[in-house]
Amino acid sequence: MLPRLGGMTDAAHDPATPDTVVPPPEPARPSGASALLIRGLRKSFGAKVAVEDLDLDVPTGSFYGLVGPNGAGKTTTLSMATGLLRPDAGTIEVLGTDVWRNTVKAKSLVGVLSDGIALFDRLTGEQLITYHGLLHGMDRETVAQRTGELLDLLDLRSAGGTLVVDYSAGMTKKIALGAALVHAPRLLVLDEPFESVDPVSAANIRDLLAGYVRGGGTVIVSSHSMDLVQRMCDHVAIIGSGRLLAAGTTDEVRAGSTLEDRFVELVGGRHHSEGPTWLRTS
């Protein structure tokens, strides 16, 4: 059964009678099954090794953070995991489905927000979400209902008729998230979803994603914001130079420190310097 998005209705769902009180869902717990299972993943671009023998296990029902410095291989890993980039070696499974042997089925299980991937920006926001829903084989009535609800949830109702090319960077992120959610995927993969998004919209998106996880979905989020990942994610993996440096629950990886301090400790490269003298004003 597909996860239900917080605040969204589903025509196939039997509504409770008026006298029935439905308790809020309990927070989902990782079940031990893997929403994403990666073994021996490798990818090179010429002489540059982007990902090297990477193993990763993302439990179903988790809110999973993937962090690493620029050029660490995060985006490359997520692109391979979601069927956008073919690996040189290794296996990837989404909820038991091999991504590169059964790509169509695997992609139907995943919603993707990729950093830097061009959208069909000559469509309006409403048309873009509708287009993604129809591509996933949904009927027009369901697509129209969900598109309207997503525009409301993402505070984009007034911009629904505006071409995406005329959106701000933050609005573009939000409409891309709507397109990733419309088919109610079981796994949501988000690459820098909060970049350029204003604080109020970011808070609303976090609430939406938390409700999605409580409803049975799994979220993988890649971000440079250590504080955000520490507050939002129950599991985290740190990648450096294409290799997995640490993975587990957020508390396990932090090891009694902050996630940022632990990240710097594992990745290295911090310069304890006050800078050149010419930058000092006194």
Mean pLDDT, to the nearest integer, of 179-198?
Answer: 92
Beta-strand pair 243-249/235-240: antiparallel
Domain count of the fold of the chain: 2
Closest CA to 3 of 178, 183, 133, 129: 183
21 in a structural domain: no
Shared domain for 99 and 145, answered yes or no, is: no
Model pLDDT for residues 148-167, shown as the tens digit of each residue: 999 999 999 999 999 999 99
Given pLDDT bands bounded at 50, 70 and 90, which one contains residue 127? very high
Q: Residue 275: inside a domain, yes or no?
A: no
Name the residue with higher pLDDT: 270 or 156.
156
Edge-to-edge strand list for the sheet holding 187-191: 110-113, 187-191, 218-222, 63-67, 235-240, 243-249
Residue percentage of the chain with pLDDT more than 90: 70
Specify if 43 maps to a domain. yes
Judge whether residue 83 has pLDDT over 80.
yes
pLDDT-based confidence at residue 271 (cuts at 50, 70, 90): low
Residue 177 lies in domain: 119-184
List alpha helices for the chain, DSSP H. Answer: 74-81, 103-108, 125-135, 140-153, 169-181, 199-214, 226-232, 250-254, 259-267
Instruction: Report the distance separating Cα 268 and Cα 264, nearest Å.
Output: 5
Q: For position 159, what pLDDT does the model report? A: 96
- CATH value at residue 87: 3.40.50.300
Q: Which of 96-105, 144-153, 209-218, 265-274 has the lowest mean pLDDT?
A: 265-274
Query: Would you state the pLDDT for residue 22?
Result: 42
Is 114 contained in some domain? no
pTM for the model stands at: 0.82
pLDDT value at residue 24: 40
Report, as an integer, the average pLDDT of 23-28. Answer: 42
- Taking 80 as the threshold, does the pLDDT of residue 116 lie above it? no
- Return d(Cα 154, Cα 152) in angstroms, integer: 5
Residues 40/41/42/43 CA torsion (nearest 10 deg): 170
Reported confidence tier of residue 9, pLDDT bands at 50, 70, 90? very low
Q: What is the mean pLDDT of residues 83-90?
A: 94
Q: Is 278 a member of any domain?
A: no
Task: With beta carbons less than 8 A apart as the criterion, state whether 50 and 73 touch.
Answer: yes
What CA–CA distance (Å, rounded) separates 73 from 77?
A: 6
Residues 39 and 158 in one domain: no
Indicate whether 85 and 195 sit together in one domain. yes
* Of 213 and 22, the one with more pLDDT: 213
Q: Are residues 42 and 62 in the same domain?
A: yes
- 18 occurs within a structural domain: no
57 and 176 part of one domain: no
**Residue 29: per-residue pLDDT:** 45
Residue 4: the pLDDT is: 52
Residue 118 — pLDDT band, cuts 50, 70, 90? confident
Q: Tell which wins on pLDDT, 2 or 63.
A: 63
Average pLDDT over residues 30-50: 87
- Residues 156, 204 within the same domain: no
Instruction: Confirm whether 246 is domain-assigned.
Output: yes
Q: Which residues sit opposite 197 in a β-bridge?
A: none
Residue 275: predicted pLDDT: 73
* Domain presence at residue 62: yes
Rounded mean pLDDT, 128-141: 96
Instruction: Single out the residue of 69, 68, 66, 44 nearest to residue 57, CA to CA.
Output: 66
